[in-house]
Chain A
Amino acid sequence: MSSPNDIQGQYRGTRGELFPLAIGVALLTLVTFGIYRFWGKTRIRKYIWSSTVGDGDAFEYTGTGLEKFLGFLVAIVALAIYLGIVQMLLFFAGLNYSFDPDTPQGMLALTGILYLNIFALVPLVFYAMYRARRYKMARTRWRGVRFGMEKGAWGFSARSIGYGLLTVLTLGALFPLANFKLEKYMADRSYFGDARFEQNGKWTALYGAAKHLFIGLAVLVGGVAIGGASQSESLMGIAGAVGYIWLMVGFVYYRVHAFRYMAANRTLGGEITFTATPTTGEVIKIYIIGTLVMGAVIAVFAAIGGALFAAMMSMAPMGNIGLVGVFAVVLYVIVLVLLGAMALVFITQPTIAHFITTFTVHNADALNDIRQRASETGVDAEGFADALDIGGAI
């Protein structure tokens, strides 16, 4: 399988380096009332990107905290204007529906109508997701050459809403179609230098990856329904638990196997191909170990905190309640900062490392012919994603 013309992904990041970085970033974010988070996220990305290595050459993340901050400002103003106007108009439209204000049902209907407001943000959420991915691509380089992505955020937003509705209407049965088409939309607009990525394959092939999702759902719904019909609480409980766990594992299985399929059917510049072999078991193992470690650390802190708390309460006269409150807040903040950093170090980083180290690029000689692409200036970074708080850990 492996030939000299292949490049196997490697990951060089370590817990010992990422953990202090994550803690430092979290503390700075805290004392700057959140302003530092743009710079913080940039630093974490720089570390993870430069830990990602192919053929000895590290990736590079060239985004800056400042452009993220400025992009956030632009987005927040645009969103504020949009939200202010649209939500007022929706509220006005909602009030123009007829309802009976003298019954609780009528009031509930009014509340429901007014909550339709949140749908004002849906197109923007998908728009922001595409923009964020495009920004990350534009700010990623390997072997000195930029990745990039064409414009197309509104097209993505429209398709996301369409496929999303289709998925909802078919009760999730067409979920693989939506997933495949949206991934293909993004992949086909992606570049490394002047070479374009192309997503091939068929959406129906993703049903294989999704099988455990459907089985888990069937166990959950079927078991609970049968248990409910035969009035057996134990059957309902067992079916609920088994179905839920099956569903959770099914999600990981789907993510892993969909990734494999999409990678195997993707090409770069028409001649470079990929193989990805992450495994469900490894990802679940990372989650379990990570959760256990985090749980243990939190338990230790809770024990120490509880003991100190009890000691302070017994010694402190009533006037010192304020001091105890401050102590509790400090402890809470420490735990919050620790949890964030540990999730990054024990779950996010190992998962990324697993996906990278099981990733192979074939026909790597063809990389030598790829030319640089022009730099992207005047981007609003991923301000919309930051303003809407989507995008996750990194």
Chain B
Amino acid sequence: MLEADGSFFDGSSAAKHKVTLRLDEARGILTFDGEALEQPEEWPLPELRLLRDQPEGGWLTFALHIEGEDETMHHEARLSCRDGAMNAALRHAAPNLTRRDIHKGTGLRVLTKISIAVVAILAMIFVILPAMATSLAYIMPREREVQFGRAVINQMHWFLAGDFETDLTCTNEAGLAALAKMQSRLTEGPDMEYDLDIKVLDHEMVNAFAAPGGQIVIVRGLLDKATSADAVAGVLAHEIGHVENRDATIGALRSAGSAGLLSMVLGDFSGGTLAVIVAEHLISTSYTREAEIRADDFALDALHEADVSSEGLATFFDYILEQEGEGPAVPAYLNTHPPSKARAGKSRAHAATQPDTSSVLSEAEWADLKSICD
């Protein structure tokens, strides 16, 4: 029977016991005995485990497998031996020496935890944060919202101009008068909570956006491409809808909450930054879709009360749809306002129900508006 010296720790104290190991292959056990032990220990070979990732060529530490709470699934006792012949014989004789024991039900436990984590994070992104953002937007003092909106507009302005000095605001008097007329026709009907501040910026981009606090920007490119004053009125009414629904403020608050969350969740994996950007985009599209529908509804109501046909808005959607798929030249308006046949159809159907309508501006006023930047 193969014999070797070793050290034994019984797992209940740090006392070290010098022992003699004997490999009894016939009975399938490793027994060891020493002065301090009351009786010889017997470890069944199938339950013998070698601790993982130890350096070779010296002492090796062994343990006994047990089912239990211990994170290692080993008994607390340890046996170590540096006899090369004994260690080699044990590798040969103990069948499960390097087996990796896993607690029963681990797979289910892991699946449960992953599911809970995913559900919690989705609930956070799609339910809790939007609800919180909406509540906060409604308690924000008006002058602070306007101040924030100014900052947003300025940033957009600097982005379009390329520097801090150039002022792109269009100031043609006749054009401003036409714009004011359009505004007053659209806001006569609905109860307005916000004082609007609408301006046109001189840039070829086809775009319009509503910033927090009642500030709306129309970019000149949109006036150039619009087929009628009614189309511009439709877009403007839609943006007023965003203002009244506080969508910009809610959106900013919501993304402030979800940005940190997303980079926490995704940032740790390879390609994290890209994943964060994609995810934020997907979330904001899904969230803005609702906001778009509500702004459309507001626009149709406003056009209805102003007796302006919503056919103009429908043709504008048609134009944007046509541009889609034409590569990099796609108007910027598309990014923030995903158009669809459904939205065009809804506007057209609504137009069919309007009894008598009149164009929002006269031909002369429409010409003035188109040259507001001259």
Contacts and interface: CB of A to CB of B under 8 A. Distances in A.
A binds B: yes
Interface of A: 12-14, 17, 21, 30, 33-35, 43-44, 46-47, 50-51, 53, 55-58, 60, 62-64, 66-67, 69-70, 73-74, 76-77, 79-81, 83-85, 87-92, 95-96, 98-99, 101-102, 104, 106-107, 110, 114, 117, 120, 139, 141-145, 192-193, 367-372, 375, 377, 386-387, 389
Contacts of B310: none
B144 A375 contact: no
Contact of A63 (B55, B71, B120): B71
A145 B9 contact: yes
Residue of A47, A79, A144 with most chain B CB atoms under a 10 A cut-off: A144
B8 to A, nearest CB: 9
Contacts of B264: 76, 79-80, 83, 387
Given A12-B58, A58-B54, A79-B264, A85 B257 contact: yes
A89 B155 CA distance: 23
A14 to B, nearest CB: 6
11 contacts: A57-B80, A60-B61, A70-B110, A84-B128, A84-B258, A91-B252, A91-B257, A101-B154, A107-B155, A144-B14, A387-B264
Interface string B141-155: 100110110110011
A295 B55 CA distance: 28
Contact of A56 (B7, B128, B260): B7
B185 interface: no
Contacts of B13: 145, 193, 368-372
A14 B148 contact: no
Binding site secondary structure of chain A: helix
B354 to A, nearest CB: 40
Contacts of B259: 87
Contacts of A69: 110
A96 to B, nearest CB: 5
B256 interface: yes
A67 B71 contact: yes
Given A56-B59, A88-B132, A95 B268 contact: no
Given A58-B59, A143-B16, A375-B70, A50 B53 contact: yes
B133 A88 contact: yes
Contact of A50 (B51, B76, B116, B148): B51
A290 B61 CA distance: 31
Nearest to A12: B55
Contacts of B15: 143, 367-369
Contacts, number: 203
A98 B269 contact: no
B55 A14 contact: yes
B76 A80 contact: no
B127 to A, nearest CB: 11
B256 to A, nearest CB: 4
Nearest to B133: A88
Contacts of B150: 101-102
B72 interface: yes
A14 B53 CA distance: 12
Contacts of A34: 268-270
Contacts of B121: 76-77, 80
Nearest to A138: B71
B72 A47 contact: no
Nearest to A78: B120
A43 B113 contact: no
B4 interface: no
Contacts of A46: 51-54
Interface in B42-79: 51-56, 58-59, 61, 69-72, 76-78
A81 B125 CA distance: 9
Contacts of B39: none
B138 to A, nearest CB: 12
Given A46-B52, A51-B55, A102 B256 contact: no
Contacts of A192: 14
B129 interface: yes
Contacts of B113: 70, 73-74
A17 B15 CA distance: 31
Interface string B4-45: 000101111111100000000000000000000000000000
Nearest to A142: B14
Contacts of B133: 88
A81 B77 contact: no
